[in-house]
Structures are given as C-alpha cells and as structure tokens.
Amino acid sequence: MGAQWKHKGRTEHAAAKGRLFTKLVKELIIASKAGGPEVGSNPRLRMAVEQAKKASMPRDTLERAIKKGAGLLDEPVNYELVTYEGFAPHQVPVIVECLTDNKNRTATNIRVLFRKGQIATTGAVSWDFNRMGVIEATPPEGGADAETAAIEAGADNVEPGEEGASRFLTGPTDVDTVGKALAGLGWTVSAQNLAWIAKNPVQLEGEARTEVEAFLEAMDADDDVQNIYVGLK
C-alpha cells in the first residue's frame, strides 16, 4: 500500500457506489473549474472522465458535473481542498484530503473520525511522505517490460500495480508528460494523479491491520473525504 488507500470492493453495494459517485462528481467539478471543460486540453479532467466512465457513471451526471465546474450552470461551486494529517491506530501515518463546501462541518466530522487514532498538526506527518505523480497503466497486447517503459517515458520509478497494471512514479510536474509518453509506447493509462507516497510504510498483520483498515473504511465513508494516503504496506 503506502500510497492512496482504496476501499476494496466499495463499488459493490448501492450506498458505497453512491459515495464513489459523490467523490467522482467533485473531482469532475474541480478539474473543470481549474482547467476548463475541454477534455482534450485538460489532463486532470480527462482522467476524471475516464474514471467516471469506468465506474459506470450516467452520462447526464458526468456532463452536468463538468458544466457545473465550468460555470455553465446557475448553481455556484465553492468546494475547497482541506488536508488533515494524523495517525490511524498503531501509529500508522495518514494524510486525508477533503473537498468541502462547509469547512466547519468537515473539521468536526474528521476530528470525530480521528478519535480512534490521533489527529496531528500540519507537517507532523507529511514530512514522512513524498509528493509525486502516480500513473497506473497496463501494457500493450503481447506484453512489455515495465522498467524499460519507465526509462523510455521518463518516469522516476515503477512498481507492480493491481490486476496486471504497473504504477509509474514521477515528479509532480511530469505526470502528464510521462502519461502521454506511456500512451505513445502502447500502454493504456487508466489513472494519473498527484499523490502522497509514504517514505517508510509500516507492515501490520492480523488484528492490528484489521483495526487500521476499519479506521480507513470509516474515514472513506465520509462524503467530504476525497483521498486517503496511508503509510501501510
């Protein structure tokens, strides 16, 4: 693990899928607001659209979110990014990114969720993480060597991903360039974003790991929580 925590199978149930759609809609809105509604010229929006389609988001919902972010609808958009740092049970470091239209509500909810761990001040945890670009991609038909692709595309590192994919790590400003280079080499890019990567992730097993994962699942269930990064292998 050690990067972005993802609730396993969270799209399997209606309520969980609704929470996923909420997070994807927010990302579509923020991406469109920041870089415009044109997918071709907005890499962040392009990835958000692909993730929304992968989650089977209805077309009307997707298009409305893009228009809302671009200011093409009458509804105002005032989401703010708020980041919290702290520890899950067993002193596992955690960074939580929220997108919210009510910072007071979010702060209250996050403090309650951190009661089974420990909330910390800004910088108390992030010093043990690197801010990096992360690209998830699958090789072309017939296969390809991930390490060779990383060198040719200009990635800093590569590690195994899920379901046959690879995770290419880049500097924060290089993620789009490397993503395009991988696509040019025949790789299928399924996601690319900025993430917090733990420098020294810890290994937990048994009951201790179960406690940490329960803490993360409860955190992920909050509608304002957009991304969770955890120092856990």
Q: pLDDT category, 1, cuts 50, 70, 90?
A: very low
Q: What is the DSSP string of 29-55?
A: HHHHHHH-S-GGG-HHHHHHHHHHHHT
CB 16 within 8 A of CB 218: no
Interior CA angle at 54 toward 49 and 56, to 5°? Answer: 95
CATH number of 130-197: 3.30.70.980
Distances from the Cα of 193 to the Cαs of 42, 46, 208, 210, in angstroms? 13, 11, 30, 28
Question: Which tokens hold the place of 59?
Answer: 């077309």
- CATH number of 14-69, picked from 3.40.228.10, 3.40.50.720, 3.90.180.10, 1.10.10.200: 1.10.10.200
80-127+199-230 CATH fold: Alpha-Beta Plaits (3.30.70)
Cβ neighbour number for residue 227 with a 10 Å cutoff? 22
Cβ neighbour number for residue 72 with a 10 Å cutoff? 11
- pLDDT tens across 168-187, in order? 999 999 998 999 999 999 99
Number of residues that this document lists for the chain: 233
Distances from the Cα of 102 to the Cαs of 15, 107, 124, 144, 210, in angstroms? 22, 9, 24, 47, 31
Question: Which tokens hold the place of 173?
Answer: 């400003």
Ranked by mean pLDDT, which of 3-7, 44-48, 73-77 comes out on top? 44-48
Contacts for 33 with CB less than 8 Å, ≥ 6 apart: 69, 70, 71, 77
- pLDDT tens across 47-95, in order? 899 889 988 999 999 999 999 999 888 877 788 899 999 999 999 999 9
β-bridge mates for residue 85, sequence order: 95, 120
Q: pLDDT category, 6, cuts 50, 70, 90?
A: low
Closest of 82, 90, 83, 84 to residue 201, by C-alpha: 90
Domain segments of the chain: what residues?
A: 14-69, 80-127+199-230, 130-197
* Strand arrangement of the beta sheet that strand 129-138 belongs to: 157-160, 166-170, 129-138, 188-198
Q: Can 14-69 and 80-127+199-230 be said to share one CATH topology?
A: no
> What's the pTM?
0.86
- pLDDT tens across 109-160, in order? 999 999 999 999 999 999 999 999 999 999 998 888 999 999 999 999 999 9
Residue ranges of the alpha helices (H) in the chain? 14-35, 43-54, 59-69, 103-113, 146-153, 175-184, 206-220
